Amino acid sequence: MSHAQPRPSRSSAPASLPIRRALLSVSDKRGLVDFARGLAARGVELLSTGGTHKTLRDAGIAVREVSEHTGFPEMMDGRVKTLHPKIHGGILALRDVETHTAAMEKHGIAPIDLVCVNLYPFEQTVAKAGTTFEAAIENIDIGGPSMVRSAAKNHRFVAVVTDPDDYDAILKELSTFGGELAQATRTRLARKAFALTARYDAAITRYLESQRGAEAEAEALPDVYTLTGTKLGDLRYGENPHQRAAFYKVPGASEAGIATGKVLGGKALSYNNILDLDSALALVREFADPAVVVVKHNNPCGCATRRVLREAAEAAWAGDPVSAFGSVIAINRPVDRATADFLADEGHFVECVVAPSFEKEAFTLLTTRPKWGKNLRLVEVGALGERDARDLIVRKVAGGFLVQDRNLVAGAGIEHRVVTDRAPTDDEKRELQFAASICKHVKSNAIVLVNDGMLVGAGAGQMSRVDSVRIAVDKATPARARGAVLASDAFFPFPDGLELAAKAGVKAVIQPGGSVRDADVIAAANRWGIAMVFTGVRHFLH
C-alpha cells in the first residue's frame, strides 16, 4: 500500500527567489554580526531568538524577536520558542502551490526565505569531564534541528545556513545576483544541513549508548548502528593511485590517536600512512615500559622495550633492519634527543613517527639533520591514556558493514595454563607475555619470535600456520631463533609448526590451544623439551 501524499497543484514557479526575511538562531556566534549586517544592508528583515537576538541588538542591528513575530511567548525555559506554525509554515510553504500560499494568507504566515541555525553544542558538552546526564539531555536541541530540516526540505525556496564558514560566500552571491542564491547553492547548503542533523542525532545516540554501562556488556550490539564523520581532509589517493580517499574524524572522539593528533610538518599523511600509524600506535600502547614499534605494510617488523628509550629504538630497528627502512614508528614516551639522534642516523629512513610528544631538540634534529627530514611526518597525540572500549571496530563489505568490539584483552589478564612437562622459567614467562602482546597485532596466521625483549621474527598473513613459522624463523636467523620464545595467534592444527620452531632452537611457546590435535602438539613439545602454555584466547586479525 502506498502512503505517498497526493501531488499538490502548482501555480507557475516564481521568476526569482530573493531573500527578504531571515531567521537567525545560533549557538556558534562566529561571524554572526557581520553576516547579519550584510543581510540587513540588503533590506532583509531579521528574526531571532534568545542570545542571538541580544548579540545582534547589542551590535546595533535591527532585529525582531521570534515571540513578537509569532505572537506567542517563549516558555518552559526556552524549550518552546520556534515550534510554531508561523515559523514552520513560513519555512515549509511551497511558494508555487496555490493552497499553500492561500493558507499563508489566511493565517497571517509570512514567508521565511533564509534560516541560519547551528545547534546546541551537545558534542562539546558531553566531552567535558564531569558533565551530568541531566546537563547532556538539556543540550539536545529540538527546535534547531526542526528548523534546519524544514528549510533543507524546502530548499527550492528557503536557503539553510548551518556553517559560519559559508557566511562570506553567501553574502557575496547575494550581492552578485541581486539578493538571490543559485539553486545549486541552495542544494549544496541543504546537503550540508542534513549531514549536520544526521551527525547530531548520531552523537546523541552514541552518548545514550555509552550511558548504559555494565548492562551493555550483556546485550547485543544495537539493531541500528549509525556512524558519521567529519572530513579532516582529502588524501592524495587511497591504497593505490587510482583510488580516491579522504580522512574523517568521528565526532566526539577523544582517545589519543591519529584522528585527534597533530601533524607537525612534513608531507601530508597518505592513506597507507594513517593505517600504519594506527596499527603501530595500537601495539605500542600495550607496554608500560619505554617501547618502540616499527611497522611496515600494516605489520610490526620491529618491537622492543627497554629501560632507556633510545635502547628500545635500537633494539626495535635491529629486529628487521631491512624492513625498517621507510617504515612507520610508534613510541610510547615523549621523543628525546638521544632517540631522535638514533632515528636520524645515516642509513636510516623513516616515513612517520607517532608519539605523545617531541622534545624541542628532538623535533629540530629529526626535521633538519637527515636529508629526508623535511618530508618526515611527526604526529603528536598527547598522553596515551586509556583506550575507549566503546569505540567499536567497523569494517565495510559490499552492501553492508561489520561491527565488533575492539580486541582490548590484555595479556596480563589471561590465565596461562602450563600443558607441558616443563614449565616456563620466570624469564621465559616475561618473554612469552611480550611475544603474545605483539602477536595480537600481526595479521593472521600470525607467528612471532621474541628474544631478549625484542621482536626477532614475524610470520604474517599466511594461509598455512607452518608457513608463518617458517617465515618467522627465517627472519630471526639461526642465531636469534636459538633460545627464542614463540607466540601463535591461534592453535597449532598439527605438530609440524611446533617441530619446525623446535628445530630452530625455540625454547617456549604460548598459544590458545583448542585443536583436536592438542595432545599431539603437547607430545611434540615434550619430546623437544619445550615449555608451552595455553591461554584459551585467540587473537585473529584479518
User: Grid coordinates representing 109?
Assistant: 504566515
Residue 347 neighbours by CB distance under 10 Å:
7
Q: Please give the domain boundaries of the chain with CATH numbers for all domains.
A: 21-209 (3.40.50.1380), 262-380 (3.40.140.20), 415-534 (3.40.140.20)
Residues 81-97, buried b or exposed e (16+ Cβ, 10 A)? bbebebbbbbbbbbbbe
Please tell me the distance from the alpha carbon of residue 331 to that of residue 309, in angstroms, as a whole number.
9
297 is catalytic: yes
Q: CB neighbours of 201 closer than 8 A, spacing ≥ 6? A: 145, 226
192 is catalytic: no
The residue annotated as part of the active site, out of 29, 192, 297, 348, is: 297
Q: CB neighbours of 402 closer than 8 A, spacing ≥ 6? A: 394, 395
- Distances 2 to 5, 6, 153 between C-alpha atoms, Å: 9, 11, 21
In this predicted structure, what is the pLDDT of residue 220? 76
In this predicted structure, what is the pLDDT of residue 67? 72
Q: Give residue-wise pLDDT tens across range 12-68.
A: 444 458 899 999 999 899 999 999 999 999 999 999 888 898 999 999 999 888 776
Please tell me the distance from the alpha carbon of residue 2 to that of residue 10, in angstroms, as a whole number.
22
Q: CB neighbours of 168 closer than 8 A, spacing ≥ 6? A: 31
Total residues belonging to the chain: 542
Residue 382 neighbours by CB distance under 10 Å:
13
pTM, full prediction: 0.82
Looking at residue 373, what DSSP letter applies? G
Residue 163 host element (H or E): none
The residue annotated as part of the active site, out of 153, 192, 249, 348, is: 153
Residue 84: left if φ>0, alpha if ψ -120 to 50, beta else—which one?
beta
What's the sign of the alpha-carbon dihedral 381, 383, 389, 390? negative
Please tell me the distance from the alpha carbon of residue 284 to that of residue 384, in angstroms, as a whole number.
10
Q: How far is CA 223 from the centre of its chain?
A: 22
In this predicted structure, what is the pLDDT of residue 217? 60
In this predicted structure, what is the pLDDT of residue 15? 44
In this predicted structure, what is the pLDDT of residue 503? 97
Q: What is the pLDDT along the chain (542 residues), one digit of tens a residue?
A: 445 555 555 444 444 588 999 999 998 999 999 999 999 999 999 998 888 989 999 999 998 887 767 666 665 666 666 678 788 888 988 888 888 888 888 888 889 999 999 888 888 887 787 888 888 888 888 888 888 999 999 999 999 999 999 999 999 999 999 899 999 999 999 999 999 999 888 888 888 877 776 555 657 787 888 888 889 999 999 999 999 999 999 877 888 999 999 999 888 999 999 999 999 999 999 999 999 999 999 999 999 999 999 999 999 999 999 999 999 999 999 999 999 999 999 889 999 999 999 999 999 999 999 999 999 999 999 999 888 887 889 999 999 999 998 898 876 557 789 999 999 999 999 999 999 999 999 999 999 999 999 999 999 999 999 999 999 999 999 999 999 999 999 999 999 999 999 999 999 999 999 999 999 999 999 999 999 999 999 999 99
Looking at residue 538, what DSSP letter applies? -
